[in-house]
Amino acid sequence: MKRHLLVADLEATCTNSEEFPRHEMELIQFGAVMIDMDDYSVVDKFDYYVKPILHPKMTYFCEELTGITDEILEEKAISMGEFCNKLNKDLKKYKGQYRWAAWGAFDKRFLMENLRQRKMSNNYPFHNIDYLNLSAIFKDIQGIKRKMGVKRAMAKCGLEFEGRQHNGYDDAYNTARMLPWILPKRAQR
């Protein structure tokens, strides 16, 4: 059993109209926490903003949903290549002895697809790292039939969401807070 789990959440450019097609959504934020699975404590934090190329201006809908503005991206965002290099460098100290996870399957597929579209598949930061779909595990353990979002799942665990929903770091942190209900110690062995 690997001792660390990287719980991540990605935010993407988005629109609620036909300003651009869904397949042109781009990564704009990668938030994550590294969790020590022995005691569920946060041992590291990651929060990167990534410059969108196809649609560099945030839509009103996306700004309202995520809180990510053009100004935030101008000030903090780095290129996709820089993001991959920084993340790989920051994760190096864990020597591949971790798994990564997110709430659902979207984040993994989305990151891989964004890198493929930019012809950067070799930069994928999680080669040979196991992925856990925490939403699917939670549904199985809790005996839930329907898909449920992070906030509803937290309520089922008796937890309140902290921070802003649809902020990559806040979503990752809150997802990690549910780990005792998703991956209880007895299930980790």
Q: DSSP alpha helices (H): ranges in the chain?
A: 60-66, 70-76, 80-91, 106-117, 134-142, 150-156, 168-177, 179-182, 185-188
> What pTM value is reported for the model?
0.94
Among left, alpha and beta (phi > 0; psi -120 to 50; other), residue 125 is: alpha
Per-residue pLDDT of the chain (189 residues; tens, 9 = 90+): 579 999 999 999 999 988 898 899 999 999 999 999 999 999 999 999 999 999 999 999 999 999 999 999 999 999 999 999 999 999 999 998 999 999 999 999 999 999 999 999 988 999 889 999 999 999 999 999 998 999 999 999 999 999 999 999 999 999 999 999 999 975 554
Question: Distance (Å, rounded) from C-alpha 53 to C-alpha 37?
Answer: 37
